[in-house]
């Protein structure tokens, strides 16, 4: 139960990096149709508004008819914007969907047929579905609050003109079930799956995909804040697997991950990029990075006993080859920074391992 509370709290505070999600969708040809579908929603909304205008139960006043025409125009603009322009920024996305929520509620409030108007608010579930995938829990909570307020207002107006209160209560319950229960549950499940996708299952560190997400959040290295990448590879790790077995090898990897996190604290993100390779990424100056790398080298090399089934406890020692790159005033792509750290790490391995190599070229360019 405690773990569930921790996960729910983490979900609530997660920022759900919109830019990374948008780029991920844009980079896969198989999901390019997503923008087409979102844009088609505008055509559907425009069609609904025009059908209502043409019906006998449409808006009774000229103001209402004018509002419906405005909603239809906005819906068509929505379609064109999604179909022909790049994926919107986070701010524009929030603005568009806030306007869509407002348009849906206004259109429903002015319907002469109050039952139809109250049912029409179910369209808010559609916009909520997008928000549940692309934005965070707090944004979805605001949308859910708007949904409840809208359906209550519509139901009260329906009952006020003679509508069945039981039908009104049923509409409220349907809307709450869809907008307040279903959508947050769906978003939480999606968040859990996304966390699994970016986390290494053995060490609980970020994996390569998680590193990509983290780098998308921190922005390009360089500028006024020094940026540091440390690449680390365990020396002769195959010998550990061959001598003690893969179970002990996994235990050593888990032990190393814990030591790395303890050594760098909150200053750096720790990633298992594959096998016995790790990357540490954060904002450290050259001297601090050098000190940090030496600390990492020492803590990784500390022996610790392991048990092979019923056999006696035996100490297992591993060392690490470490490459360090720090960039200060030069702007570099993340891929270049990590590649240079890898190159420095391989130089440390060629020197016999259990060594730290600083990339002098990048260091001098950052001086």
Query: Does residue 246 sit within a domain?
Result: yes
Query: Does residue 111 sit within a domain?
Result: yes
Q: Which among 92, 251, 276, 277 is annotated as catalytic?
A: 276
Q: By C-alpha distance, which of 21, 51, 49 is closest to 123? A: 49
Residue 98 pLDDT exceeds 70: yes
Last residue of a domain, one of 141, 173, 197: 197
Q: What is the dihedral of CA 94, 95, 97, 101, to 10 degrees?
A: 130
- Across the chain, mean pLDDT equals 86
Residue 24 pLDDT exceeds 60: yes
Query: Does residue 202 sit within a domain?
Result: no
On whether both 225 and 166 belong to a single domain, the answer is no
State the pTM of this model. Answer: 0.79
On whether both 180 and 212 belong to a single domain, the answer is no
pLDDT, average across residues 36-55 = 87
On whether both 11 and 158 belong to a single domain, the answer is yes
- Catalytic site residue 276? yes
The CATH number assigned to the domain holding 277 equals: 3.30.70.270
Residue numbers of the domain that contains 135:
2-197
On whether both 111 and 248 belong to a single domain, the answer is no
Last residue of a domain, one of 168, 197, 226: 197
Last residue of a domain, one of 177, 197, 217: 197
Residue 42 pLDDT exceeds 80: yes
Residue 366: band (very low, low, confident or very high) from pLDDT cuts 50, 70, 90:
very low
Task: For residue 164, give the DSSP letter.
Answer: -
Query: Does residue 56 sit within a domain?
Result: yes
31-35, 134-138, 308-312: range with highest mean pLDDT:
134-138
Residue 309 pLDDT exceeds 60: no
Predicted pLDDT of residue 109: 84
On whether both 181 and 314 belong to a single domain, the answer is no
The pLDDT tens digits of the residues spanning 203-227 come to 999 999 888 888 877 655 555 678 8
Query: Does residue 203 sit within a domain?
Result: no
On whether both 298 and 245 belong to a single domain, the answer is yes
The total domain count for the chain is: 2
On whether both 25 and 157 belong to a single domain, the answer is yes
Query: Does residue 175 sit within a domain?
Result: yes
On whether both 22 and 146 belong to a single domain, the answer is yes
H helices within the chain, ranges in order? 2-13, 18-27, 33-54, 62-84, 90-109, 114-120, 123-134, 137-160, 165-176, 183-197, 208-218, 237-244, 246-264, 286-301, 334-350, 360-366
Query: Does residue 192 sit within a domain?
Result: yes
On whether both 23 and 58 belong to a single domain, the answer is yes
On whether both 20 and 158 belong to a single domain, the answer is yes
On whether both 262 and 187 belong to a single domain, the answer is no
Query: Does residue 292 sit within a domain?
Result: yes
The pLDDT tens digits of the residues spanning 267-287 come to 899 999 999 999 999 988 889
Predicted pLDDT of residue 4: 81
Cross-strand bridge partners of residue 247:
none
Predicted pLDDT of residue 220: 56
Pairing of strands 356-358, 277-282: unpaired
Q: How far apart are CA 150 and CA 173, in angstroms?
A: 13
Residue 307: band (very low, low, confident or very high) from pLDDT cuts 50, 70, 90:
low
On whether both 240 and 360 belong to a single domain, the answer is yes
Kindly calculate the radius of gyration of the chain based on its CA atoms and give it in whole angstroms: 28
């Amino acid at each position: 139960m405690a773990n569930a509370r921790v996960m729910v709290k983490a979900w609530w505070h997660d920022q759900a990096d919109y830019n990374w999600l948008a780029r991920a969708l844009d980079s896969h040809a198989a999901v390019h149709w997503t923008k087409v579908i979102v844009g088609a929603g505008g055509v559907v909304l425009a069609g609904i508004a025009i059908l209502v205008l043409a019906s006998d139960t449409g808006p009774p006043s000229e103001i209402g008819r004018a509002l419906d025409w405005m909603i239809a125009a906005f819906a068509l603009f929505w379609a064109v914007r999604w179909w022909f322009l790049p994926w919107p920024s986070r701010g524009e996305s929030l603005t568009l969907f806030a306007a869509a929520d407002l348009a849906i509620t206004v259109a429903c409030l002015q319907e002469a047929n109050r039952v139809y108007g109250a049912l029409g608010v179910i369209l808010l579930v559609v916009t909520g579905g997008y928000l549940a995938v692309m934005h965070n829990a707090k944004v979805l909570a605001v949308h859910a609050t708007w949904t409840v307020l809208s359906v209550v207002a519509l139901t009260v107006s329906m009952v006020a003109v003679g509508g069945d209160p039981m039908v009104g209560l049923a509409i409220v319950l349907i809307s709450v079930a869809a907008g307040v229960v279903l959508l947050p549950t769906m978003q939480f499940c999606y968040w859990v799956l996304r966390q699994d996708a970016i986390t290494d299952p053995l060490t609980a560190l970020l994996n390569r995909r998680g590193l990509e997400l983290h780098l998308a959040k921190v922005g390009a290295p360089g500028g006024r804040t020094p940026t540091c990448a440390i690449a680390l590879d365990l020396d002769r790790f195959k010998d550990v697997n061959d001598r003690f077995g893969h179970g002990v090898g996994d235990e050593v990897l888990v032990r190393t991950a814990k030591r790395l996190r303890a050594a760098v604290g909150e200053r750096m993100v720790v990633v298992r990029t594959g096998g016995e390779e790790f990357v540490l990424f954060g904002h450290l100056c050259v001297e601090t990075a050098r000190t940090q790398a030496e600390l990492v080298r020492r803590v990784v090399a500390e022996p610790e006993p392991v048990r092979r089934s019923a056999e006696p406890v035996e100490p297992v020692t591993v060392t690490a080859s470490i490459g360090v790159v720090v960039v200060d005033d030069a702007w570099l792509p993340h891929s270049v920074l990590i590649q240079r750290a890898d190159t420095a790490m391989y130089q440390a391995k060629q020197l016999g391992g259990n060594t730290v190599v600083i990339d002098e070229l990048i260091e001098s360019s950052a001086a």
